Chain A
């Protein structure tokens, strides 16, 4: 079965540094998402992206966050100046626009020190 691929699987960074989390959605998918899961807490929606623009974002997704689909295959999440509370597992997900199944990647564990 096709997969959503996320790199790296683990990322350690210093507070205040910029990080870019990378995702390769499934090739025929049109809708892209980022979710995050702080350790021991719920999975939370961050942002949805369709037709090269953000279609919805949560309150968490402030000006420090941005998303991009730079080359038609990758889908990135950038955090400009990381904070300790950004430490979490970040999941990329994608969807065809038809059917019910939302495909998640295996996640990137971000640790901000």
Chain B
């Protein structure tokens, strides 16, 4: 069974600084995908970034980058130049490829609440 662990229930960062949100995963499947989603207080789930298990390079999307360390089974999210609007819950999730090529059965972690201080 797949498992996602986010060990930081809450994180604080000063505006304009970088912050790393931790995520470790466990799977026996050699082929998998890792996601980060942002959930502001309004409740919607916003896709941030994706990393495939066979991707050679770490994924980047604007101020978001994913520090993928396959041997350590970690997929940490790095947010550079934090903004006040980055304050939200952040979820790490894994896609189960065993369910089929296009089936998005995601396993989520418990989330990390990020607060950006002015």
Contact = CB atoms under 8 A, between A and B. Distances in A.
Interface of A: 30-31, 33, 35, 41-45, 48, 50, 55-56, 89, 91, 93, 95, 97-98, 100-107, 109
Contact of A42 (B45, B102, B108): B108
B105 A45 contact: yes
A55 to B, nearest CB: 6
| Size range of the chain B interface in the assembly | 20 to 34
B103 A109 contact: no
Nearest to B93: A43
**Which among B102, B106, B108, B109 has the highest number of chain A CB atoms within 10 Å?**
B102
Contact of A106 (B33, B42, B52, B105): B42
A14 to B, nearest CB: 23
